[in-house]
Chain A
Amino acid sequence: MGEETTTLGTIRISPNALATIAYHATLTSYGVVGLAPKNLAEGLTATITREPAHGVSVHYNGEEIDIDIHIIIEYGTRITSVADSVANAVRYQVEKALGLPIHHVNVHVQGLRVSNPG
């Protein structure tokens, strides 16, 4: 994915590299208080393997790159705005790093966190 052939050889960028960029872009987005694993299996794997970017999955079908983000948002914020900001930030950071356009950035709000009042 993100393969480029130069006179010296081939450059391939792995989905993991993109996922890491997306992960950090998400964590610094306002309103996001955590990333959520897609399902139980992924959650367990993430705990065991200390995967760098759980909650982020990158799909490449040979032509387009799609990124899915699963987040937990702080209760009391406007969810659509937070999700929008995440999508924008992820797209901007990944496209800037990769130099290629991203097809879709899908943000899935897996839950809200209610902080202790006071």
Chain B
Amino acid sequence: MDPVVQARLERFKSTPIDGQVLKKLVEAGLVWLRVNQQTVNLLNVFPVPDGDTGTNMVLTMQSAYNEIDSLGHHNVGQMAAAISQGALMGARGNSGVILSQLWRGFARALHNHEILDGPVLVRAFAEARDTAYKGVVRPVEGTILTVAKDTATAAEQALRETDDPYEILVRVVPAADASVQQTPDLLPVLKQAGVVDAGGKGLFFILEGMLRHIQGEPLDTPSAVVQPISAMKLENAMEDIEPGQDFEVVVDFVPAQELNLQNFYTELETMGTSIQVGEGEGMYRMHIHVPTENRNKPVDYIMGLGSVTKVAMENLVAQVEDINKKSAKGRIELANIEPGQIAVVTVSPGPGISRVFASLGVAAIVEGGQTMNPSTKDILDAFENLPTNKVIILPNNKNIILAAQQAKDVTVKKVYIVPSHNIPQGLAAVMHLNTDGDVEAVATRMTKSIEDVIAIEVTTATRTVEIDSVSVEQGQVIALVNGKLAVSASSVEEACLGALEKAKTDDYELITLFYGEDLSSAEANRIVDAVRTAYPAQEIEIQDGGQPHYQFIISVE
């Protein structure tokens, strides 16, 4: 032991443990536990992972301390009884109740004693353990109960070497620590989670606090905790990134001599946040978030401590932006349907088009896939579990109308099929959706509206053919107007413009163009610009439809 610490301990040893000394020890245990409260909370997985153990134990200890704060008793037995009473009244959570039981047993052993000497202390640890174990029919090992048991055993062993209660405490605390470290071997759920038992750790902190008190060590900064590397939480929880933390730095290293954890932490705390230290086979892993200007500091510092084996650096800000972009693209928010409302089920060939349908209040989208050929079951699954009986299906393809009909026959729900042959018709129909309206009336209105829109589909011909006096060579770009082959051309732009002309677009007001996955947005925009030039009087909208096969799906209305 450090000679300074030893000297402080000697000074304490001259003071017998009476009620007032016990009060100070309880206070020290409480303070140290409170300071390390979060550590204990984070360990909590058993019996229920509610992250409460640290807080519950602090509340229990606080209640115990509140009971004795104003007491002037020198009789240690009376003081202990009051502690026990306070703990009982304030016991919170599983660990809090066990802690209160420990104090109850402890206090019983101290009954009628003025002073807490070595032998009485050992008996008190044993009685605490016994009382705690009595309070449950199936004690679970690998918890605070085990730590209490091992502490009592260590106390008994210590008594063989010394009968000084302070010395016994000095020996008991490392034993408690060792017991805590072993809890994962006794309780599988701890091992799976890669943590030690929270309640056990809490009990250790209480004892360690008392030890630190008699060794004159500070109780205000939390213990630098080293965890097994497997338990380190290194995936960035995006919400945890604080402003000013730009880089994540992870350094694997082997220290040249034993690492002074407290100094290590203190030094790292001047560089950044979210510091975690993990220990593995003869090496350590340090994790930290730093602002850009500090990005090299952790590595430089650690290089001075030993040999660095691996460094990983990741730009956090870029990561967040990337994820935001991806999730914005990926998420499609469908309408939330209340019972009694109308749920619209639509078939969509691409994500962009799906998003447009979703924004118009559609309740379910069936992926049309490459061939726009969902099965009856696909359609049925889309609406069967929705909390409403009123369903309108928009097949958006001639071939799917049959599958939709079959789905309608199989279900007990009230299904109306609006016979949309293509996406533009489907979109035009959805515009007339009133989720709270009468389903038959809405369906009728939708059906009428599909006649108002002209649909142009632009794709590549797979065969050489002549239809409707239009001759097509395989590989040419063709455009269908309302399902009929209208134009064949050598470029997408030509096909679009030709089809728009055939559709007499001058008589209409709005042109919406959905470009497919085969076109880049630059290419699509170029073509749409040509359309704008050709039709200056019309309103023109461009959307990334993402559909396969069709370079463009155009709706003219």
Contacts and interface: CB of A to CB of B under 8 A. Distances in A.
Are A and B bound to each other? yes
A99 B140 CA distance: 25
B94 A85 contact: yes
Nearest to A117: B108
Interface string A11-39: 00000000000000101111111100000
A61 B138 CA distance: 32
Interface in A55-104: 74, 76-78, 81-82, 84-85, 88-89, 92
B100 A78 contact: yes
A30 B92 CA distance: 12
Contacts of A33: 134-137
A81 B89 CA distance: 10
Contacts of A27: 137-138
Contacts of A28: 47, 136, 138, 140
Interface string B90-105: 1111101110110010
A27 B134 CA distance: 13
Contacts of B140: 28
B256 interface: no
A31 B97 contact: yes
A115 interface: yes
A24 B347 CA distance: 49
B89 A34 contact: no
Contacts of B94: 29-30, 85
Contacts of A85: 47, 93-94, 97
A25 B94 CA distance: 13
A76 B136 contact: no
A34 B135 CA distance: 10
Given A88-B50, A89-B47, A81 B134 contact: no
Nearest to A75: B135
B1 interface: no
- Give the interface size bracket for B toward A: 20 to 34
Residue in B104, B136, B138 with the greatest tally of chain A CB atoms within 10 Å: B136
Contacts of B108: 117-118
Nearest to A27: B138
B387 to A, nearest CB: 13
Contacts of B101: 74, 76-77
Given A76-B104, A78-B89, A92 B47 contact: yes
A117 B219 CA distance: 36
B100 A77 contact: yes
Contact of A115 (B50, B91, B97, B134): B134
Residue in B96, B136, B137 with the greatest tally of chain A CB atoms within 10 Å: B137
A85 B131 CA distance: 19
A31 B135 contact: yes
B137 A78 contact: no
B232 to A, nearest CB: 25
B508 to A, nearest CB: 47
A30 B136 contact: yes
Contacts of A30: 94, 97-98, 135-136
Contact of B48 (A31, A77, A81, A92): A92
Contact of A81 (B47, B92, B104, B137): B92
B88 interface: yes
A77 B50 contact: no
A76 B88 contact: yes
A115 B50 CA distance: 31
Interface of A: 25, 27-34, 74, 76-78, 81-82, 84-85, 88-89, 92, 115, 117-118
30 contacts: A28-B47, A28-B140, A29-B47, A30-B98, A30-B135, A30-B136, A32-B136, A32-B137, A33-B135, A33-B137, A76-B88, A76-B104, A77-B101, A77-B135, A78-B88, A78-B90, A78-B91, A78-B100, A81-B96, A82-B97, A84-B93, A85-B47, A85-B93, A85-B97, A88-B50, A89-B47, A89-B48, A92-B47, A92-B48, A115-B134
The 5 closest A-B pairs by CB, nearest first: A78-B91, A74-B135, A92-B48, A27-B138, A85-B94
Given A33-B134, A78-B89, 16 more contacts: A27-B138, A29-B136, A30-B97, A30-B135, A30-B136, A31-B97, A32-B136, A33-B137, A76-B88, A78-B88, A78-B90, A78-B96, A81-B92, A81-B96, A88-B50, A89-B48
